[in-house]
Structure 1
Amino acid sequence: MKRLTRTVTTVALATALALVGGCSSDKSEDSKGDGKLEKVTYLTSFGNFGRDAYAWVAKEKGFFKEAGFDVDIKSGQGTGGNIGLVVSGKADFTPVDLTGALLQVGKGEAKDFVAVAAIQQRTMAAIFSTEGKGIATPKDLEGKKVADTAGSVVRLLFPTYARLAGVDASKVQWPNGEASALMGMLGSGAVDGIGQFVVGKPTVEAVTKKKAVMLPYSDVMTDLYGNVLITSSKLAKEKPDMVKRFSEALLKGLDYSLANPAEAGDMLKKNEPTANPQSAAAELQLMEAFVRSAGSGAKAGTLDSQRVARCIALLQGAGSIPAGLTPEQIVDFNLTPKA
């Protein structure tokens, strides 16, 4: 089975900052046990699709409350933007693509955050098109328009993907698009493709009313993790117990969502009226193989330092980041779930 890997401009980041401003500065001290709930702001990875429904499930099912948290869930815009919001203290936790995070840290574009749990054991980044647009192989992307948010991991990884897939990256245009607008842009014919996760296939087909064509990045880049949960280095250092409790509650929501995808889809719809519960459930069903990763035998949520090192080596070998980056610079292995 082929292994199947996702960020914002300064303006977009400023907008996102305004949306979640003031969320973290007023947090009380860790108060589990005294009856108070600690306020936490969480950003989804990218919009509010089925792949992110597990956060709403953790809230609706009371998993966050049981762990001592009052969680405000906001819509994320991708790896780069989400990292900036966590580092600035405007959000406390968010899932970001590990490879995209490695690219930013390796290039000196981000720092002061750590990964504390894996959401997906395998990458899900891909480029989507639909039948009739003349895209069937990576080489077909040349001369085409592929829309995505300015800093998404699909976009960040594209030069590396293109180099390994034999594509002239300079011949591919990347118009900007908001997370919520990408599928509509593809459906209207405004662009030839969009950056998306492989689990987005049901939603792409539901929105465009056409059969999806998918180019998974993992076809040429193997052994990459997908999304990981991050927090600021400051919060990880000052409140390690709080970080662990939040991670456990979120992973509990993830596990429940995978076991009950239809219910999770309904919970997403309850909190995000524009969501399609059927498509959300289908996304979760597709995502299960990436979260549990039965082939690797890895426990959900765990991160392996040797695998992270191989991810780094792949990016260094492709010339995407300079030498010197280590797994410990981006993952706090003392806070990750144990295998």
Structure 2
Amino acid sequence: MTSLRSVHRILAALCAAVLLLLSAACGTSQAADGDLRKVTFMLWWAPDTNHIGVYTARHNGYYKDAGLDVDIVAVSQAGAEQAVNSGVADFALSTLTNVSTYATKGAQIKEVMQVQQKTSAIWCSLASNTAISSPRDFDGKTFATFGSSESDAVVRRMIQEDGGTGDFDKVTAGTSTFQALSSGRADFGGFYSTWEGVQAQLNGPELNCFTEPDYGVPGNADSIGIITSDRLIKEDPDLVKSFVQATQRGYEYAYEHSDEAADILVAEAPEANLDPTLVRESMKTIIEGQYWGDRQQIIDGTATLGAIDYDGTQEYFDFLAQSDAYEDANGTVVHTAPRSRDLATDEFLGES
């Protein structure tokens, strides 16, 4: 699923252009003011709780402990995945699904830590739209989309699983799916329960939402985590290990100390003008839903935060391939699903 974009993302990308050029020039060379290694991490979109472990790791000194000076930069217009593939950024937030899509087109990138362990995508209409009471009612309606074949495949499967035909119209969501629905340009769209879903609960509008697992979409679609390039893994595995394990500590801290981590995110990303209540409630939703795994087991050290869900992601890749959602660099549909074990690795994680 393609996340809700905002005007902030576009503006932030422009503001980050100079930083990105400097990062490309400096690469991962030694910082001039000491022994810390300069590393660039790129956001996936505007700062939110999916990124919180990176901000926490930097604020708490985990990166410094690992010998790293991490520069967090706004997403480029080419996208975080392409920035990592081209070497403009060393690391970024993404999903294993996105890695599979870019790899099918020839990118050489890998997920090295999977934070989110289950799907948080929700497909919603306004509660005031009484014509929609279940996914089959999406038939013949207008979908506010960011244009991905993946989203089309998911919506179609949910409709068909609910007894509909899977036929719907589409309109570009623009900067806000909320706005597309409220203006009447679209009847339904996609959100994340851990962010936009919380936002709607706090501030409206009231939504009527449906989840993918309840309507026949298999596997883990939202395998959000940390990506890097195959090149960096090959050339400097120690750097990758240092960054991944420090980041892992950041997410573990956030999972155990959610309110403190929320306050860190708000303070460390002032340009996002985040609502502290929204950030805290988002973390509460993540914890209650155990989206990052069994929280108590992670705190106890009997489970590892960041482990790759190879089987769940492969199940989802197989579904996408069967739905003709993969294309190569030439735009030709690819019917063979990518292999999750070729596109992700657990080898750089630390033990909890």
TM-score above 0.5, yes or no: yes
Of the candidates 201, 206, 211, which is equivalent to residue 205 of structure 1? 201
SS in 2 for 1:174: strand
Aligned match of 1:86 in 84, 87, 96? 84
Residue in structure 2 matched with residue 163 of structure 1 by the alignment: 157
3-state SS in 1 of match to 2:317: helix
What secondary structure, in the 3-state scheme, does the structure 2 residue paired with 1:139 have?
Answer: helix
Q: Judge which range, 293-302 or 96-105, deviates more.
A: 293-302
SS in structure 2 of the partner of residue 96 of structure 1: strand
Calculate the TM-score normalised by the size of structure 1: 0.80
1:183-194 equivalences under 5 Å are 183-187=178-182, 190-194=185-189
Deviation at 1:265, TM superposition (A): 2.2
Q: Secondary structure at the match of 1:36?
A: coil
Which structure 1 segments of 5+ residues have no match? none
Tell whether 2:55 aligns with 1:56.
yes
**1:56 to partner: Cα distance:** 1.6
Runs of 5+ unmatched residues, structure 2: 327-334
Deviation for aligned residue 1:248? 1.2
- Which residue does the alignment assign to 2:249? 252
| Residue in structure 2 matched with residue 111 of structure 1 by the alignment | 107
Does the aligned pair in 2 maintain the 1:42–1:71 contact within 8 Å? yes
1:315 maps to which of 312, 320, 330: 320
> SS in structure 2 opposite 1:228?
strand
Indicate how the Cα distance of structure 1 residues 27 and 47 shifts in structure 2: closer, same or farther if over 3 A, else same.
same
Cα distance in 1 for residues equivalent to 2:165 and 2:115: 32
Cα deviation for residue 162 of structure 1 reads 1.2
- 2:78 paired with 1:65: no
Give the 3-state SS of the residue equivalent to 1:46 in structure 2.
Answer: coil
Which residue, 75, 96, 99 being the options, matches 1:101?
A: 99
1:133 to 124, 129, 143: 129
Report what 2:291 is aligned to. Answer: 290
Q: How does 1:242-281 map to 2 (within 5 A)?
A: 242-270=239-267, 271-272=269-270, 273-281=272-280
Which residue in 1 is equivalent to 2:24? 24
Contact 2:112–2:228 at 8 Å: present in 1 too? yes
Equivalent residue number for residue 38 of structure 2? 39
1:326 maps to 339
Q: How much has 1:35 moved relative to structure 2?
A: 4.3
Give the letter aligned to residue 212 of structure 2.
Answer: Y
What whole-Å deviation, never above 9, does each CA across 1:298-339 have from its counterpart, x for those lacking one?
521111444443333333344434226323331134335569
Q: Give the paired residue count.
A: 322
Q: Distance in 1 between matches of 2:310 and 2:242?
A: 22
> What's the C-alpha RMSD, in Å, of the aligned pairs?
3.5
When Rg is computed on C-alpha atoms for both structures, the one with the higher figure is 2
Partner of 2:329: none
Percentage identity across paired residues of the two chains: 21
CA gap 1:194/1:298 in 2 versus in 1, 3 angstroms: farther
Partner SS, residue 215 of structure 1:
strand
Q: Whole-Å Cα distance in 1 between the matches of residues 66 and 339 of structure 2?
A: 32
Tell me which amino acid in the other structure corresponds to 1:192.
D
- Letter aligned with residue 26 of structure 2: D
Change (3 A) 1:182 1:318: closer
What is the deviation of 1:55? 2.0
- Which sits farther off after the overlay, 52-61 or 232-241? 52-61
SS of 1:55 mapped into structure 2: helix
Distance 1:168 1:46 in 2: 33
How far apart, CA to CA, are the structure 2 residues paired with 1:168 and 1:44? 37
Whole-Å Cα distance in 1 between the matches of residues 183 and 262 of structure 2? 26
Q: CA deviation at 1:86?
A: 1.1
Tell me the CA shift for residue 59 of structure 1. Answer: 1.6
Cα distance in 2 for partners of 1:237, 1:294 equals 33
Distance change >3 Å, CA 190–CA 280, structure 1 → 2: farther
1:120·1:291 contact (CA, 8 Å) conserved in 2? yes
The separation in 2 between residues aligned to 1:299 and 1:6, in whole angstroms, is 27
Give the whole-Å Cα distance in 2 for the aligned partners of 1:189 and 1:64: 46
How far residue 112 of structure 1 moved from its aligned partner, in angstroms, is: 0.7
Instruction: Provide the C-alpha distance between the structure 2 equivalents of 1:148 and 1:164, rounded to a whole number of angstroms.
Output: 16
2:173 matches 1:176: yes
- CA–CA separation in structure 1 for the residues paired with 2:294 and 2:323: 26
Counterpart contact for 1:198–1:214, Cα < 8 Å: no
Q: Tell me how far apart the structure 2 counterparts of residues 120 and 76 of structure 1 sit (CA, whole Å).
A: 20
Change (3 A) 1:194 1:311: closer
Deviates more, 1:329-338 or 1:292-301: 292-301
**Matching residue of 2:308:** 303
